[in-house]
Amino acid sequence: MEIKDMKELKWPSRMKSSPDTRDRSKYCEFYQDHGHTTEDYQALQREVEVLIKRGLLRNYIDHDKRPRNHRDNRKEPGVGSSAQPTAGTINIIIGGIASGGDTNSGRKQHARRHAHTPKESHDEVKDITFGANDLEGVSYPHDDALVVSAIVANFEVKRILIDNGSAANILSQEAFAKMGISPKQLKTVKTPLQGFGGRVIITEGIVELPLTLGSDNVQVTEITPFQVVNTYMAYNIILGRPLLNKIQAIVSTFHLAMKFPTGHGIGVVRGDQAASK
């Protein structure tokens, strides 16, 4: 009824079916006849969609009463569109044991526990900034990934990719073998990983190893769960959100550096730009 006087609205032609066969208890304002309700008439729904796409109903669609986090997930016109049809898109490594474990019940329990856990005090979160000094030694402009070195199980491991798009910490089978760790230490993982060239792979298992980032007295050491994968990787290790969030790391790919709080100040790990290239 709000749009019935719009000149852009295209009204339907008269219904062709016999009036005797229609449900007289239902009336359509759009058809101005009996047989169905206004809300159920699909032709009106399509007409409203046309008017929305033409930008004529902005006063209505802007007043969205849904929570902001739901509204932000809507696709804007043109997002994800392409002249070339695709079979799918794999942007990140997903799956694995992050966020509650390797079972659905474990992940649901983790979500319930998190929902009732008080948020960390803002006073306990350290301010971390990046400035011009952090660009020293960086050749730019660049689009290089953040590739670093770290101490893992008492080995200096190079070619470690910092990837906050990954839902898991990944260790290559080759690097695992060079550490001399017995395969018996691997724990079985049921949840597969997806994102390696679009393939779904079953990990060899999971192993927990000490990982140290930083230098001197501004460093952090964490017992880190790694999922071992037997597939070609350009990196020995991929460090994802499970570790980065745990150590409250802030990543700047522009500065090719990662910073994190420690008991003695802010630690920093700088990328190896040559290794990245």
Q: Given this model, what pLDDT does residue 79 score? A: 43
d(CA 268, CA 93): 25
Domain with CATH 2.40.70.10 in the chain: 137-276
Name the CATH architecture for the domain at 137-276: Beta Barrel (2.40)
pLDDT band at 167 (very low <50, low <70, confident <90, very high): confident
Residue 60 has φ and ψ, to the nearest 5°, of -100, -45
Measured in whole angstroms, how far is the alpha carbon of residue 274 from the centre of its chain? 28
Q: Given this model, what pLDDT does residue 229 score? A: 92
Judged by average pLDDT, the poorest of 8-12, 66-70, 148-152, 211-215 is 66-70
Q: What CA dihedral angle connects 160, 176, 240 and 97, to 10 degrees?
A: 180
Q: Is the pLDDT of residue 84 over 80?
A: no
- In the DSSP assignment, the letter for residue 176 is H
Mean pLDDT (whole number) for 271-277? 89
Q: Given this model, what pLDDT does residue 54 score? A: 73
